[in-house]
Structures are given as structure tokens and as C-alpha cells.
């Protein structure tokens, strides 16, 4: 069964909204917000060499100025460290503290436990199909950005609600 594009997008949005509600509740149980979880996850992925604020902003798809205040609060709360880069002493990088690592691990485990209740209702074949379809849809959005009022709308803009 196929639907018109608006119908399909409404269903994708509904699924996303429900997922976001579960993730927000799970994150708040771990004293994190959606944004803080994203920062911890991104810095964690950078490994032992750390992550610059510029890299963090790019990965999260937000302005570096937006990341700056958030990073400072997270440093103050003991979740992040700012250190000089070993590769380039003129630059600083962000690393997780032990508390940041513990909060991320706890939040990830909590998220996975909650989400597995839905995901495990799909067979492994259906999970792979869903993953493949989402990858193809996201790639199509990246390869062929929509135009809106004469300007291009990037997928990351849509995530932040810039395209009204």
C-alpha cells in the first residue's frame, strides 16, 4: 500500500514524535536533555583524541554559538572537560568526564531498553528493511534538497524547524 507524500510524511513525523517523547522521558530520568545527550554521544564517538566545538556543532547541525553556552554549562556540571589538543596545541578539544561517561552509558541503556519493546516486535529482516529504507530516504533528502521560496532546504534545516 502506498500513500501520497503528505500521508507518508505525517506517518514518519508521528513515529518520530512518539520516539522523541520516549527518548525525552528516558533522558530526563538520567538528568539529561535531548541536547545534552547529543553532545555526550558526539564527544564519546570522537574517542580519546576529543572533539572540537566546531566539529561538535557540525555534527549536531547547529551554530557554534549555540553549542558554546551548552558546553560551558556541561563543563560546569562536571560532564565535559576542555583540554589542549595533542595534535595542535593552539586548539582545544572536548572530552567526557567519568560522570559524563556514566550518564551517557546509563541514558543509552535506558533508551535501548525502552525502544527495544518496539523494535523487537519487528523481525530481524524487517529491522534491516526499515534501516535500509530510512537510509535511502535520508540519502534522497541529502542528494536532492527541496527548494523553498527560491532557497534550498537542507535536511538539517528541517530537523530544526527552519523550513516552515
| pLDDT tens, residue by residue, 60-90 | 989 988 899 999 999 999 999 998 766 666 6
Give the residue extent of every domain in the chain: 5-121
Q: Residues in the chain with pLDDT < 50? A: 155-164
pLDDT score, position 161: 43
CATH class of 5-121: mainly alpha
pLDDT at site 24: 85
In contact, 42 and 56? CB cutoff 8 Å: yes
Per-residue confidence (pLDDT) for residue 23, from 0 to 100:
86
- Closest C-alpha to 156, from 63, 71, 69: 63
Say what the pLDDT of residue 85 is: 62
From CA 114, how far away is CA 116, in angstroms rounded? 6
pLDDT score at 13 = 93
pLDDT recorded at residue 125: 97
Tell me what percent of the residues of the chain surpass a pLDDT of 70.
84
- Dihedral sign of CA atoms 24, 123, 13, 46 in order: positive
Q: What is the pLDDT of residue 124?
A: 96
Q: Which of 35, 54, 37 is nearest to 94 (CA)?
A: 54
pLDDT score recorded for residue 49: 84
Measured in whole angstroms, how far is the alpha carbon of residue 38 from the centre of its chain? Answer: 5
Amino acid at each position: 500500500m502506498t500513500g501520497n507524500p503528505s500521508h507518508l510524511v505525517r506517518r514518519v513525523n508521528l513515529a518520530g514524535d512518539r520516539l522523541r517523547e520516549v527518548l525525552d522521558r528516558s533522558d530526563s530520568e538520567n538528568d539529561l536533555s535531548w541536547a545534552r545527550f547529543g553532545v555526550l554521544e558526539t564527544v564519546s564517538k570522537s574517542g580519546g583524541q576529543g572533539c572540537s566545538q566546531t566539529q561538535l556543532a557540525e555534527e549536531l547541525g547547529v551554530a557554534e554559538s549555540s553549542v558554546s553556552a551548552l558546553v560551558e554549562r556541561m563543563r560546569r556540571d562536571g560532564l565535559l572537560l576542555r583540554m589542549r589538543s595533542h595534535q595542535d596545541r593552539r586548539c582545544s578539544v572536548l572530552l567526557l568526564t567519568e560522570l559524563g561517561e556514566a550518564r551517557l552509558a546509563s541514558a543509552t541503556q535506558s533508551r535501548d531498553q525502552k525502544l527495544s519493546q518496539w523494535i523487537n516486535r519487528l523481525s530481524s529482516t524487517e529491522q534491516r528493511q526499515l534501516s535500509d529504507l530510512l537510509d535511502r530516504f535520508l540519502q534522497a533528502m541529502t542528494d536532492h534538497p527541496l527548494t523553498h521560496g527560491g532557497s534550498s532546504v537542507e535536511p538539517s534545516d528541517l530537523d530544526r524547524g527552519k523550513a516552515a
